Amino acid sequence: MDPTHLHQIAVEAMRSRGLLPVFSPEALQEAEAARQTGPERGGDIRDLRHLTWFSIDNDDTRDLDQLSVAEPLAAGSLRSV
């Protein structure tokens, strides 16, 4: 299948669900500013990028606050966060 056609299908699927297929100039500026300053350090902020996560959201959910991580513990048990 033509990659251009697949891209158009993805754009239409996003729009039909009320999502924007491209970032606004303001969002791109904010992301660039964050990249330039880097992450905050200290306080309660911990870098958890090393953890493998999964999402239990429905396909129409627009947020990412329902992410889960399972960590193996001793004796074969798990801790879910």
Give the number of domains in the chain.
Answer: 1
Domain encompassing residue 33: 3-80
Confidence category of residue 36, pLDDT binned at 50, 70, 90 = confident
The residue ranges of DSSP E strands in 1-81, in sequence order, are: 53-55, 67-72, 78-80
Give pLDDT, residue 25.
94
Residue 55 has pLDDT above 80, yes or no: no
CA distance 17 to 67: 21
**pLDDT top residue among 28 and 54:** 28
Q: Does the global pTM surpass 0.85?
A: no
pLDDT band, very low/low/confident/very high, at 19 (cuts 50, 70, 90)? very high
